[in-house]
Structure 1
Amino acid sequence: MELATAALGSLLPKLGSLLTDEYKLQKGLRGEIKFLQAEMESMQAALDEVSKRPAHQIRDLDKIWARDLKELCYDIEDSVDTFMVRIDDAPVGPKPRSFRRFFDRTIGLLTKAKTRHHVADDIEDIKSRIHEVAARRERYKFKDIAAQPDTTVIDPRVPALFEEAAKLVGTDGPAKKISNLLTQQKDVQKQKLMVVSIVGVGGLGKTTVANLVYERLGDQFDCQAFVSVSLKPNMKQILGSILRQVSEGTCTNAGEMDLDELIRSIRKFLMDKRYFIVIDDVWNEEAWKLIKCALIDNNLDSKVIVTTRNIAVANFCSIDGTMYELEPLSDADSKRLLCKRVFNEGEGIHSELEEVAKKILKKCGGVPLAIITIASMLASLPNKTMYEWYGVYNSMGSGLEKDKNLKSMRWILSLSYNDLPYHLKPCLLYLSMFPEDYEIPIYWLVQMWAAEGFIIEEKGRNLYKIGKRYFNELVNRSMIQLMRRRDNGSATACRVHDMILDLIISLSAQENFVTISEGPQVMSPECTIRRLSLQGRASHTASKEEQVILPAKVNMFHVRSLIAFDYAFQWMPPLSCFLVLRVLYLHCFPSKNNHPKDLGSLHHLRYLVLGGEIEAKVLEEIGNLQLLNTLELLATNIKELPASITRLRQLENLFIGRGVKLPDGIENLMSLQELGWLDVEESPNTLAELGNLTELRVLRIHGLDDNESYVKTFLQSLSNLHNLHTLVLSGRGIWSVDLDCMSDHWRGPAHLQNFDAGSFIIISQLPRWFSTLSEFSFLTITVKVLRQDDLQLLGALPVLRVLKLEVHPDGIITEERLVIGIDEPFRSLAEFNFINYSRCWLVFGQGVMPRLQRLQLRFEVQKREGGGFDIGLENLTSLKHIIVTVNCYGARIREVEDVETKIRDVIEIHPNHPTVELSRSMTYRMVQD
């Protein structure tokens, strides 16, 4: 249902835009468009009505109708897009002053007339399909629908509450940690109500761990209760259950009370009681808000545990407690659990089963429910041979929906999918385009969603930011795992848990959302292909005909996304077959069956990523792709972009490698929001043009460190980039760059948040204009000179969260000590990384860096007089983790060990007892004693 709703949500605004004066439709055609618009709005209303029904009351007939409606919306949108592109591609000049212009104008008018005639034919066909879809639904619609039987599903998680302790694996550690969180509080807060949230993906064992803590601590309280909320909670039943449990059955009329009476009764009963309650499986904040009304804070040290799949809900529920993120089982615990369920106690996995067992456990990903489910299948096998186990392993993929033994696992995972709002479901299903274990760059993914039209526009908001919010919501709901974190903690890639990937592949197949092909021979011509993922390797033994998906056999006309991984590009059909393609990612391009000019004919393309050995002529007609938003060529050998690229007025993101020459006229890309890398040596003229790209938000520049005039030209342009929030500089690390060479009246981009110069470019001194950047939050910089004034400047920045400050080995620090005092408190700093090779040392005064949790220091032993570590570490009151790297260059082993001992001593007496990582560098240059 939700996918049809999403398709309608994308289509209706386009139908509305067709009725504007811009497209000058004839009267009859306008009437047809209005008919389509009204018909689609009526279908949307009908769809909303059906979607409001309980899941067991939605008939198969309604599901078929919604599926047909979704396909119909896709086809209408394809026609509308084609019409818009053709109209826009035939511009009419103001006046024909020559035969050539007269000819072009005449052809343009004829083309537009032909296009309007074509869209009229399409509408006639669509109208007949609308009547057909509606009539089919009406034909099989019974007037009197019998009362729906009670189809209550028994929750397969219930047995987890009564599992024998001997059978549990990997739960003791989390249970102890959560027990400690509940019982070890600071004296000031000891009597207040405490709520600890346990969060994790479905099937991870949250209920089991919560129940274990409940059993261990329950006797210490006056009364206790354990209730499950579930996806669509009956709040009256839940509150009634709490009342019956805490009153130990004395309140017998709970079922007769309304919500207000139940809340008042619970509060009255708990008024003078120390209670312990577990609220299991909370899905949204609204359910918790109502339950929280009944949980009175009576200052008797009461405790509550909440379990949820949603990180945002977990944070919302926590009161004077914390959020505990439950981790998957370790490899060792996963193996132990499998053995316990399949073999007799103490019996291990037989040697011939080791390899297949490892594959099965990897697929389960440390999720206990998945391991237990699969173990029950393995235990039922008569002979437990390797071939039987491989049969089970193979059933864990597309067989997730077919194998009855996996039904409970699918049911639990489906709950998370069913809870998603309609706009997130296509975003999640799109992840089935990527192979198992593939690390998906987050930026790619969100831009693909935008290109596909999944992201709903909001007035005044950047589309990528809206999409990133969608992404974060899927992460919060434990549907996506974050990967490849930057030093500042932010992730750059993600992946999908194997069991969830199996689920969304299955759902995508059911909904005809994504078609996955692992070879040309498995492509089916039966259904309309909307999104195509080519995975696997082409066979070297296959014939030429078998190596290509033949257009005559499989219709590619409606494919919106095409992704080809590894060598799969070898058997993809020509690009000319893809008439409405919006997303194209090719790992290697071009292939033998793709002509370079085919690329220029993809007029609907919004997102393009190419890799491989590409000749310059391949990109010559790229200027034809007028709708292109994102172009990435980082994995190619391209050395120069064609002049036609300057015609891409809707291009927002351009990613190229260092050493690529840009043509003059880049200033015409007025929509450009992200550019990188701009190699100054290859494209010096572009520096002056930058100032006209006022929409730029992210800029990466290489090579400013060898020409003073480049720097001044760059800074002049930089002052015009009012929307810039991220600036990354890269150089050869030989010369230093003076970014303070402009007049006092010069101002940098006011909204700059992230400045990254790293170790590959040396800044002569900290720029004074940094002091005007009130939104500055991330700074990575290597300076040649560091002064006390610089620390005062940085310390005064109100929202600076991450600071990585390095003094170049050849740099200068004038003072013997740099003191961070109360005048420069660094009040928002959470992470500080300081690299210094001079004799000078930082000292932290009282009250500074009140939020600092992570400190990383790197210094040279030989430059530390006396080897002391008296730096005021005790004044960093929020410190949780410290990393110290000792540079051993020219030092004796005894000196290094002495410094390390002093460091440990200082950290040991810190009131927070932070964790410590102590390491050495340049050990091969140590002096032997």
Structure 2
Amino acid sequence: MAAIMVSASTGVMNSLLRKLATLMGDEFAKLTNLRKEVKHIIDELGSMKGALESLADVDELDIQTTRWRDEVREMSYDIEDIIDDFMCKIGEKKKKSGFVHDTIQRLKTSRARHQIAGQIEDIKKLVRETSERRERYKLDAPKSHSVAIDQRVVALYENAAKLVGMEGPTKEIISCLNDEEKDKKLKVVSIVGFGGLGKTTLANEVYHKLKGQFHCGAFVPVSQKPNIPKLLHSLLTQLGCGQSFHDCELNVLLDQLRENLKKKRYLVVIDDLWDASAWNIIKCAFPENELHSRLIVTTRIKNVAAACCLGHHKHILEMKPLSEEDSRKLFFDRIFCSEEACPSQLRDVSVEILKKCGGLPLAIISISSLLASGTFNQKERWKHVQNSLGSLSGTNLTLEAMRQILNLSYKNLPHHLRTCFLYLGMFLEDSEIYRDELVRLWVSEGFVSKARGQSPEQTAISYFNELVNRSLIQPVQIDTDGSVRTCKVHDILLDLILYKSAEENFITVVDSPDAITGQLQKPRRVLFNLDGATLPWDGSMSQVRSFAMWRSCKRLCKLYQLRHIQIRGCDTCQLPTKIRGLQNLETFDIDGSCLPMDIFHLPRLLDLHVPSVERLPMGVGKMTSLQHL
């Protein structure tokens, strides 16, 4: 837990130190006294950053150290906000020319510099007090027993999950779908089991083997809190008729699906269904046309599986953990390409590690990917991994036990990858994430370190590739050259990300009415996904710097610290008509069809992603800071 929290703190510290260095070089060249003050702050913050990185390798922190870490994080955010505000004020003088204007701007700039001088003195005092508190209470990291991982950059994705142990279940599902050939009625088959057992992998394998036997098909993820209209629209789109049904009422979508399917033999997978009430709506989309149509439902809940199959228990496949033989094959193939290649000194410890993985493919892939990233003959390192793991036995298949295993993979990430991994929590469950979009967000958030001979985007892609190689993100679309175009995050890994991010105030997820009033305590990054609700546009939102929304939003212009805006799932997106107040905005990414007319007044905008906009506002061509359009 502590490691994840500290890495979020070091993420903002990296961004802050770069901005302080830029400020010294660009704006304080003639202000010697202020340069000295800022240099002192940089030195102190650099020492704090080193301390935070040491704390990141500690499993649990005491209360005093935890409070100090939290103070450093919030202090870093506040200092960065002050610097951004100052840079915006100084930058105004470069926009216009003319004697009167220049005179006014010099006066304004003088006042701004006087103001920043006072603020820097306050910052210096705050930094000094925070540093002294660390010394006073001896808040140094205890000796760490964490596993050191050799850093490496992997250019291509190696497929770790080669459907080990899936042959038997695949045949069983296909047999169940194909029997009773004389019965032409619609048939539903459920796959049930704990998260990480491979239900989605199995359903996907069966779907691709059989879809050629049907007129049409679709594979639709549901998620724990489903947006039913969006799900039905996805169905229509995959069936080839969803283009003209955006923002339609639920009954219209259901009627259109029934009309489209009534004379077709269809195969549809409903993946990750959580409750029967959602099924009671979804099933209305599928007509009983007596053409041997088939539905496959995956779920973690036995009662839901039974409800989908109308009590026909022979239509339910309960996923079992991998056998000992299949577990070994998946584990050793991932690390050594074969079990025979495993060094003899690692065989006994390998057996013990596999026992703790309990036959769960996700756990085995996660731990084997962790071990594959190091030196093969480090027996002590492998023993440490064994001792750090909980046990995923048949009586302990719990989310908390799974978190413990996945958390070990997280803790062994290099520091520069940890914050990037946490940022994946800004995307909804089951989202297909474009690599290029993700790496641009990492860069603009300040998570990417400079590397000699590489652009920031190239360095960020290497970060992405390493997360793929460690099986922490799953490739979806792969280009012909082997590079990953899009990816997903397994829902259990996403649970780990959000669980820890909430504790660290790294990401605030608003997906229920209670979350609006209960979580918004100086949030920094907000993911808003709630129908029929509005955020409180008061002081509690003033510090938000990244905002992702799956709805329209007309009051964004009040979030003055915003660096990043991402709005999805709203084709008729309603935005404020004017947003020139968002002077810190760097990334603007929407899938709507309109843009605020004054967007060209944003001096720091680097990335404008508007694929559905047919005509850009006048003045966009004069945006000299814009790098991506």
The within-5 A match list for 1:398-417 is 405-417=398-410
Match of 1:602 among 568, 578, 582: 582
How much has 1:131 moved relative to structure 2? 4.2
Take 1:610 and 1:150, find their aligned partners in 2: how far apart are those partners? 45
Q: 1:578 to 1:413 in 2, by over 3 A?
A: same
The within-5 A match list for 1:692-841 is none
Q: Indicate whether 1:55 and 2:49 are aligned.
A: no
How much has 1:151 moved relative to structure 2? 13
Q: 1:82 to 1:226 in 2, by over 3 A?
A: same
Match of 1:228 among 325, 334, 349: 349
Report the counterpart of residue 31 of structure 1 in structure 2.
36
Q: Indicate whether 1:422 and 2:408 are aligned.
A: no
Match of 1:564 among 532, 536, 549: 549
Q: Please tell me the residue identity of whatever aligns with 1:601.
A: G
Match of 1:648 among 617, 623, 628: 623
Name the larger-Rg structure.
1
C-alpha contact 1:530 1:558 (8 A) present in aligned 2: yes
Match of 1:528 among 506, 522, 529: 522
Q: Indicate whether 1:288 and 2:376 are aligned.
A: yes
The within-5 A match list for 1:89-100 is 89-91=92-94
Deviations 1:172-213 (A, max 9, x none): 859xxxxxxxxxxxxxxxxxxxxxxxxxx9988799447756
Take 1:149 and 1:490, find their aligned partners in 2: how far apart are those partners? 36
Q: Indicate whether 1:454 and 2:447 are aligned.
A: yes
Report the counterpart of residue 899 of structure 1 in structure 2.
none
How much has 1:224 moved relative to structure 2? 8.7
Deviations 1:433-479 (A, max 9, x none): 11111111222111111111111122331221111111111000100
How much has 1:429 moved relative to structure 2? 0.8
Q: Please tell me the residue identity of whatever aligns with 1:13.
A: R
Helix, strand or coil at the partner of 1:612? coil
Q: 1:109 to 1:485 in 2, by over 3 A?
A: same
Take 2:37 and 2:144, find their aligned partners in 1: how far apart are those partners? 44
Take 1:451 and 1:460, find their aligned partners in 2: how far apart are those partners? 19
Q: Indicate whether 1:75 and 2:78 are aligned.
A: yes
Which has more helix, going by share of residues?
A: 2
C-alpha contact 2:328 2:339 (8 A) present in aligned 1: no
Take 2:444 and 2:484, find their aligned partners in 1: how far apart are those partners? 22
Helix, strand or coil at the partner of 1:536? coil
How much has 1:79 moved relative to structure 2? 1.6
Deviations 1:758-807 (A, max 9, x none): xxxxxxxxxxxxxxxxxxxxxxxxxxxxxxxxxxxxxxxxxxxxxxxxxx
Take 1:646 and 1:85, find their aligned partners in 2: how far apart are those partners? 21
Q: 1:107 to 1:280 in 2, by over 3 A?
A: closer
Report the counterpart of residue 428 of structure 2 in structure 1.
435
Q: Indicate whether 1:4 and 2:9 are aligned.
A: yes
Report the counterpart of residue 249 of structure 1 in structure 2.
none
Take 1:280 and 1:613, find their aligned partners in 2: how far apart are those partners? 45
Take 2:17 and 2:371, find their aligned partners in 1: how far apart are those partners? 31
C-alpha contact 2:44 2:128 (8 A) present in aligned 1: no
Take 1:212 and 1:43, find their aligned partners in 2: how far apart are those partners? 44
Report the counterpart of residue 19 of structure 1 in structure 2.
24
Take 2:476 and 2:29, find their aligned partners in 1: how far apart are those partners? 49
Report the counterpart of residue 438 of structure 2 in structure 1.
445
Q: Please tell me the residue identity of whatever aligns with 1:494.
A: C
Report the counterpart of residue 577 of structure 1 in structure 2.
558
How much has 1:40 moved relative to structure 2? 0.9
Report the counterpart of residue 591 of structure 2 in structure 1.
611
Q: Please tell me the residue identity of whatever aligns with 1:55.
A: D
Report the counterpart of residue 465 of structure 1 in structure 2.
458
Higher relative contact order (CA 8 A, sep 6+): 2
Q: 1:134 to 1:212 in 2, by over 3 A?
A: closer
Q: Please tell me the residue identity of whatever aligns with 1:635.
A: S
Take 1:40 and 1:151, find their aligned partners in 2: how far apart are those partners? 25
Match of 1:85 among 84, 88, 93: 88
C-alpha contact 1:534 1:563 (8 A) present in aligned 2: yes
How much has 1:406 moved relative to structure 2? 3.5
Aligned residues: 431
Deviations 1:492-533 (A, max 9, x none): 221100100000000111111001112565324762211011
Deviations 1:872-929 (A, max 9, x none): xxxxxxxxxxxxxxxxxxxxxxxxxxxxxxxxxxxxxxxxxxxxxxxxxxxxxxxxxx
Q: Indicate whether 1:549 and 2:527 are aligned.
A: no
Identical-pair percentage: 30
Q: 1:289 to 1:25 in 2, by over 3 A?
A: farther
Deviations 1:540-565 (A, max 9, x none): xxxxxxx432323x522221211111
Take 1:446 and 1:427, find their aligned partners in 2: how far apart are those partners? 9
Report the counterpart of residue 126 of structure 1 in structure 2.
123
How much has 1:376 moved relative to structure 2? 5.3
Gaps of 5+ in 1: 153-168, 175-200, 233-278, 292-307, 310-368, 378-404, 539-546, 655-929
Helix, strand or coil at the partner of 1:226? helix
TM-score by length of 2: 0.59
Take 2:374 and 2:526, find their aligned partners in 1: how far apart are those partners? 39
Q: Please tell me the residue identity of whatever aligns with 1:287.
A: T
Take 1:3 and 1:464, find their aligned partners in 2: how far apart are those partners? 21
Take 1:440 and 1:172, find their aligned partners in 2: how far apart are those partners? 27
Q: Indicate whether 1:509 and 2:502 are aligned.
A: yes
Deviations 1:154-180 (A, max 9, x none): xxxxxxxxxxxxxxx974859xxxxxx
C-alpha contact 1:226 1:280 (8 A) present in aligned 2: no
Helix, strand or coil at the partner of 1:5? helix
Take 1:206 and 1:130, find their aligned partners in 2: how far apart are those partners? 53
C-alpha contact 2:28 2:35 (8 A) present in aligned 1: no
Report the counterpart of residue 605 of structure 2 in structure 1.
628
Q: Indicate whether 1:586 and 2:571 are aligned.
A: no
Q: 1:59 to 1:283 in 2, by over 3 A?
A: farther
C-alpha contact 1:520 1:548 (8 A) present in aligned 2: no
Take 1:42 and 1:579, find their aligned partners in 2: how far apart are those partners? 30
Q: Please tell me the residue identity of whatever aligns with 1:557.
A: S
Helix, strand or coil at the partner of 1:584? strand
Q: Please tell me the residue identity of whatever aligns with 1:550.
A: P
C-alpha contact 1:438 1:495 (8 A) present in aligned 2: yes
Take 1:149 and 1:92, find their aligned partners in 2: how far apart are those partners? 52
Take 2:22 and 2:430, find their aligned partners in 1: how far apart are those partners? 41
Deviations 1:705-736 (A, max 9, x none): xxxxxxxxxxxxxxxxxxxxxxxxxxxxxxxx
How much has 1:487 moved relative to structure 2? 5.9
C-alpha contact 1:5 1:44 (8 A) present in aligned 2: yes
Take 1:513 and 1:75, find their aligned partners in 2: how far apart are those partners? 14
Q: Indicate whether 1:537 and 2:541 are aligned.
A: no
C-alpha contact 2:516 2:536 (8 A) present in aligned 1: no
Take 1:410 and 1:45, find their aligned partners in 2: how far apart are those partners? 27
Q: 1:39 to 1:172 in 2, by over 3 A?
A: closer
How much has 1:72 moved relative to structure 2? 1.4
Q: Please tell me the residue identity of whatever aligns with 2:117.
A: A
C-alpha contact 1:202 1:412 (8 A) present in aligned 2: no
Take 2:34 and 2:543, find their aligned partners in 1: how far apart are those partners? 24
C-alpha contact 2:44 2:131 (8 A) present in aligned 1: no
Which has more strand, going by share of residues?
A: 1
Take 2:600 and 2:369, find their aligned partners in 1: how far apart are those partners? 53
